[in-house]
Amino acid sequence: MAGFAMNKALISLARCLALPSAFLLASCGGGGNAENQGSLAGARIGAPFTLTDQNGRKVSWDSFKGKYRLVYFGYTYCPDVCPVDLQKMMQAYAKLEKEAPAQAAKLQPIFISVDPERDTPSVLKTYVAAFHPKLVGLTGTPDEIAKVTRDFVVIYGKEPAKDASEYLVAHSRTPYLFGSDGAPIALIPVDDPGTAEDEGSPATVLAAFKHWVK
């Protein structure tokens, strides 16, 4: 698989950086079962948290107990990768609602900000609504976000900028799928801009949802 190539290609974008993920690389070496590509079975990702949603309410990891969870970390000012990934994933989710409503009802999409300074609940509210009404946006204090990113093995960091309010945030790009018990199941495919094929197309993401959500 093109883990390294993908990371290099994204770093060249110099905006929504994809930093190497041990889990992405680990999932490449498994070989064999293409059906279960991206499996995160047994990985140590995730932990209880309490954050604030787009309506200003406190939400914890256990608030989603009993549901599969698609968790994507990013930030609303991200100029390229985050909105593209979110659009494809939420298009796939909308298709799942039409084609397999029972499966869709079991799956909760969640966007967690790595830019808590600018991503206030009201900023998140407008942002998530643009993708899908079911998408939950979560933010918190810088300390809360530092902890949740550590627990979910997400790397992020502010890029130096001339204008203090115009900075970019480099972050890893790892759309995780968790099961109804909160354990990690799989990485949902995203596009590798270094290839012609769109690996993260809505059809591919839809197939992954159908494969993993039981």
Q: Using the minimum distance from each CB to Ni ion, give the nearer residue, 81 or 104.
A: 81
Segment 10-69, which members bind Ni ion (CB under 5 A)? Answer: 16
- Please, are residues 114 and 156 in contact by the beta-carbon 8 Å criterion? yes
What element of type H or E holds 187?
Answer: strand 184-187
> Cβ 101 to Ni ion, closest distance in Å?
30
DSSP-based three-state secondary structure for 65: coil
DSSP-based three-state secondary structure for 132: coil
Q: Is 128 in the site for Ni ion (CB under 5 A)?
A: no
Q: Is 205 in the site for Ni ion (CB under 5 A)?
A: no
| Closest to 176 in 3D by CA, of 61, 11, 13 | 61
Of 8-16, 48-56, 120-128, 159-167, the segment contacting Ni ion by CB under 5 A is: 8-16
What would the x/- binding string for Ni ion be over residues 155 to 194, using CB under 5 A?
A: ----------------------------------------
Q: Is 78 in the site for Ni ion (CB under 5 A)?
A: yes
What is d(CA 57, CA 120) in angstroms, rounded to the nearest whole number?
Answer: 12
> Cβ 156 to Ni ion, closest distance in Å?
9
Q: Is 70 in the site for Ni ion (CB under 5 A)?
A: no
What element of type H or E holds 53?
Answer: strand 50-53
- Please, are residues 142 and 117 in contact by the beta-carbon 8 Å criterion? yes
| Of the candidate residues 59, 71, 82, 135, the single one contacting Ni ion (CB under 5 A) | 82
